Structure 1
Amino acid sequence: MPPPAPPVEIRAGATPALARAALVLGLAALGLWILHEFLPALAWAVVLAVALWPLYRRLTGRFPPGPHNILWPALFTGAVALVFLIPLAVVAIQAAREASEVLDFWRSVEQSGWPVPDWVSHLPFGAAAVSRWWSDTLGHPAGSSELLHRLDRTSLIGFGRLFGSQIVHRVVVFLFTLLTLFFLFRDGEAVARQGLSACRRLFGPRGERVARQMAASVHGTVDGLVLVGLGEGFLLGIAYFFAGVPHPVLFGAATAFAAMIPFGAPLVFGIACLLVLAQGHVTAAILVGVAGLVVTFVADHFVRPALIGGVTRLPFLWVLLGILGGVETFGLLGLFLGPAVMAALMLLWRDFTGEDAPTHGDTPR
């Protein structure tokens, strides 16, 4: 009779460990699926909290909060709301003022046609042909009315519906961003401590360093994109004012917003140049173009790489690819997520290759 087979040794705790891992992954996937509509709001709140945390810590360290810690989080959340709402309110007021003029222009075009604009006569070439085409096509009520009604039927209605739905969606995301931001300010110390502890337990010291590097990249990106973009908008807004660009404040704000995306500012000051040129001011248009090129060249090639690359320790090429790829993938939120991911990958690559790896305990600048 053959001897009995030796008993199979089952490692104690192996099955419960696998079950716990499956439970954690399943619950995490379920949680992400439940919250997927609110993930942009949560991500924006985290980015804003990380960007403003040094200032928040400085003020709360000097003026300690009360026992419930509500005042400072409420003030910072309200300040963030005003930063976004005040420019939108200015744009809305300006749009309301212009709406009546646009409506009157629309009615006059339907009744008497669209007269040839003054800027056509200032074109460097082809002015006579453009003027003749304009008079034959849009200069009489029938042609103008046909064009306006065609635009109204095909594009304006659909655009209005899409614009309205997007506005409602953005408002909901913004409100939940502010709500999340308030709680992040209030409980930020505990959230940061728990996050670093989780990274340390899951990935060791390297995980904590990656988390710190990503947070530092958000600071550098805010300085390099937002602050530099505001500076570009302010400087070019002054140039718009003296050059006679229509609505220089709005154009300056649009330039500041577009300048946060690499190569976005030239589109705005290019339109400003065309508007000034259409008024017949060739010298002013050239000055606006030269000022825009100089300001954006200095910002994109000297100031921005020093601010972002100095903190994230990324070469300018990877900063640029992170920003553009982030915008392509995540929209405006990708301005901050792209460089953060690139910085984390670069840190892991340097650790893997053993080149320029900071010692344990070092923190990014």
Structure 2
Amino acid sequence: MTLTYENFASAQSFFLWSTFGIALIMGAVVNKTNFCTMGAVSDWVNMGDTGRLRAWGFAIAVAVLGVMGLEAAGLVDVTNTFPPYRQTSLPWLESLLGGLMFGIGMTLASGCGNKALIRIGGGNLKSIMVFVIIGVIAYFMVNPFPGSDKTLYSTLFYPWTRPAALSLATHQDLGSLLFGDKAATGRIVSGAVVGGLLLVWVFKSADFRGSFDNILGGLVVGLAVLAAWYVTSNVRINADGEMMSLQAYVQNWDFYSPADAVRPADAAPLSPQSFTFINPMGQALGYAAGKFNHTLLTFGVMALVGVLAGSLLWSLLSRSFRIEWFASFRDFVTHLVGAVLMGFGGVLGMGCTIGQGITGVSTLAVSSFIVLASIIAGAALTMKVQYYLMMRS
């Protein structure tokens, strides 16, 4: 079912405000249930508790199975997306390196990008610094320095990471790679296997089955990712009888739009997409630097605001709002280094624990699985090193 509007302004307004609404619910529930991907790895590595890890797995399963069904029904487009998860290039080195950097960074900074927003909503001032640092790094990873055509990515990474990327004859999702010309069938089979196996593992645990918060957190995060895919895939504009996506409309702006209409700065962020939080922090920085020019307002920016607002709302309702600051200079430096690593790693790996770990994996893109595994490995290794150093001190 398409969501059709008669003009661009109305369609864009729904596109952005529906994003805010979905993110608001997700932010409140994540705060309420303590859904935390870094915490999930920490519980597993340090205590052998897999409850929150299974909640993360449940969110992935919901997103994978949901996308499988909706894509088979023609109700979502997860091939022509922003960012391009199913691209025909497989940047395995960038995915591996980005995931490791992000996993290390989120451990040092007490949580991933989404968790930083949740913590800000709960009164944590440390996470404001993390947010800003990530935003600056993410912005200049994709935008050139003033007076230059160079970005952090083109200067530090492109010359040696991009040549390692594999050029594929098809899209990089499991369905295309394993089933060739029968990619549509392959995606159904692959999605059913991945989602089904995850569900079996998740609900095999009696402790998980008895945890309302873990079930609720995983379910809502998975459904939020799915809802965003649905909305961004189906908003349409009736352009002289032709149903057009927002991206296509902007690309043909001069032909269809009234003379007094204001064109968005970029058409790409109007593509089908779902939640990710590192690159949008860079978009938020650009939006603020652009004096909050509405042409720079994107899905990503609205998602950040929605999650933060939802977390704040729950913090106030539950009376859990607490101001928190750095415990020491060492604590400050640790968070600073973690934020820098997350900024670099999140853009290099094209996503975070949510952006690749759930949203990307829901497309069955191979690079998303690489990033997810690398994030977990980087976080687990860092926690082991921290524990070793603590025991020696």
TM-score, normalization by structure 1: 0.31
TM-score (norm 2): 0.29
The structure with the larger Rg is 1
> Higher helix proportion, which one?
1
**Higher-RCO chain (CA-CA 8 Å, sequence separation at least 6):** 2
